[in-house]
Amino acid sequence: MAESYHEASLHLLEQADTELIAGDFRQAAEKAWGAAAQITKAVCIKRGWSHQSHAALRGANKRLADELGDNEIRLLFTAAQNLHKNFYEDFYNEAEVSVGIRDVQQLVEKLRPLA
């Protein structure tokens, strides 16, 4: 099951880039958020942690940042959460969504070895 979440995160990152190029910034942001959520779920499953809510995903990233001494994990996940907010509010422009997607790519790269 962790592997399917892991694969989904990579697929969603590709979709985020496709949506960004197409000019659909709302969907690009949401796909990137999905990638962050899916890779986090993969790590949670491997570690036996809860992963059924936004709060659980946020808590897992905080816990990973603390365990690994890597506060960037927390910051990158916060960027992903902000992209999710953009789905509802549609307040980010192309440059902001692009930076957010790159942040999520960094998060996925950091968490992939743990998934």
Residues 2-40 pLDDT 10s: 899 999 999 999 999 999 999 999 999 999 999 999 999
CATH of the domain at 25: 1.20.120.330
Rg (CA), the chain: 13
**pLDDT given for residue 110 in this prediction:** 98
Written as six digits, the tokens of 74 are 């927390």
Interval 71-84 mean pLDDT: 98
Could you report the per-residue pLDDT of 86-109, keeping only the tens digit for each? 989 999 999 999 999 999 999 999
Domain boundaries, position 59:
2-114
Domain count, the chain: 1
